[in-house]
């Protein structure tokens, strides 16, 4: 018998959802989403392994490649595009490959998820130092299967993020992260629970990887890119929080560092020159390590 993923089965809790008042419809939908978050939480062990292995690869110059189609792929694109503005990482550090390319991203009628050869071709730029993360709720999307097969052949670390414990693609992954979300509130609509779990997992994965890379200071986003006035003020507030200095001092330090928050923070915490701060940050991953190398003590 053909394998039927849990996400494609009928949910006994929502069988009469079309007969309910709006408040009850919403209650059921949100209750199912809460189950999705718990399913993501249950995957913490394998997700932590993926974070640790990815950190090692990135420290050696590797990159992260996401591969997905449909709702799963769109969430991967969203996650990847937020890495640079949030953490100041190079734009090529996280790359999302979507079945069918940019046009398919905004036009769901261009459906290339069954194109395994396309997945393999899109994985052509993946190297042995890299990490390939396949995202597929069903665990069987041909585009993702092709990409994982190609990435594995290249020697990359392969990770599968899925909502099916018996995912057919699991044999192609070195690490399998399963959020067992079960049947959707609307049968087969993986933009719902599976999408929620996928977003939670990808957010947690990329954020933890960036934290381990030293791109935060405590829970402060010291790598954020100040592309507008709101973010520029957020940067000043961040420096105030981190150092206890007044806003004027922090604003001046940020200006002297040409808007580079880590440099301004290291200078404020140690009293060193801009040149020494930049040198320490080049040699050591993150503000804490740079401050320690300069003989200071981060708070």
Question: Which residues are marked as active site?
Answer: 82, 113
Beta bridge partners of 68: 98, 135
Residue 25: how many CB atoms within 10 A of its CB? 15
- Cα first-last separation, the chain: 60
Residues 6 or more apart from 26 whose CB is under 8 A from it?
none
Residue 232: how many CB atoms within 10 A of its CB? 14
Beta-strand runs (E) in 13-78:
64-68
| Token reading at 251 | 């604003």
Classify burial at 227, counting beta carbons within 10 Å of its beta carbon; exposed 0-12, middle 13-18, buried 19 or more.
Answer: exposed
Residue 81: how many CB atoms within 10 A of its CB? 14
CA distances from 65 to 3, 77, 181, 219 (A): 28, 10, 24, 25
The closest of 209, 215, 207, 212 to 131, measured between CA atoms, is 209
Tallying the residues shown for the chain, one arrives at 299
Contact 215, 58 (CB under 8 A): no
Residues 6 or more apart from 55 whose CB is under 8 A from it?
209, 212, 213
Beta-strand runs (E) in the chain:
64-68, 94-98, 131-135, 157-162, 175-178
């Amino acid at each position: 018998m053909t394998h039927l993923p849990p996400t494609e089965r009928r949910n006994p809790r929502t069988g009469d959802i079309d007969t309910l008042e709006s408040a009850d419809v919403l209650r059921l939908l949100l209750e199912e989403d809460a189950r999705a978050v718990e399913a993501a939480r249950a995957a913490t062990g394998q997700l932590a392994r993926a974070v640790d292995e990815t950190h090692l690869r990135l420290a050696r110059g590797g990159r992260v490649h996401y591969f997905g189609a449909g709702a799963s792929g769109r969430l991967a694109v969203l996650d990847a595009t937020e890495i640079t503005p949030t953490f100041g990482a190079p734009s090529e550090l996280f790359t999302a490959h979507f079945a069918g390319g940019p046009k398919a991203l905004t036009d769901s009628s261009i459906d290339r998820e069954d194109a395994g050869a396309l997945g393999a071709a899109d994985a052509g730029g993946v190297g042995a130092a890299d990490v390939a993360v396949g995202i597929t709720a069903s665990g069987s999307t041909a585009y993702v299967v092709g990409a994982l097969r190609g990435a594995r052949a290249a020697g990359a670390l392969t990770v599968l993020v899925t909502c099916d414990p018996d995912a057919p693609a699991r044999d192609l992954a070195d690490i399998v992260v399963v959020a067992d979300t079960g049947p959707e509130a609307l049968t087969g609509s993986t933009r719902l629970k599976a999408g929620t779990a996928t977003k939670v997992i990808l957010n947690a994965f990329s954020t933890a990887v960036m934290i381990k890379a030293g791109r935060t200071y405590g829970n402060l986003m010291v790598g954020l890119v100040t592309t507008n006035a709101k973010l520029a003020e957020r940067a000043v507030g961040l420096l105030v929080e981190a150092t206890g200095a007044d806003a004027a001092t922090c604003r001046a330090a940020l200006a002297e560092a040409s808007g580079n928050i880590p440099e301004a923070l290291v200078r404020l915490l140690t009293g060193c020159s801009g040149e020494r701060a930049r040198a320490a940050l080049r040699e050591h991953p993150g503000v804490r390590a740079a401050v320690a190398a300069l003989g200071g003590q981060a708070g």
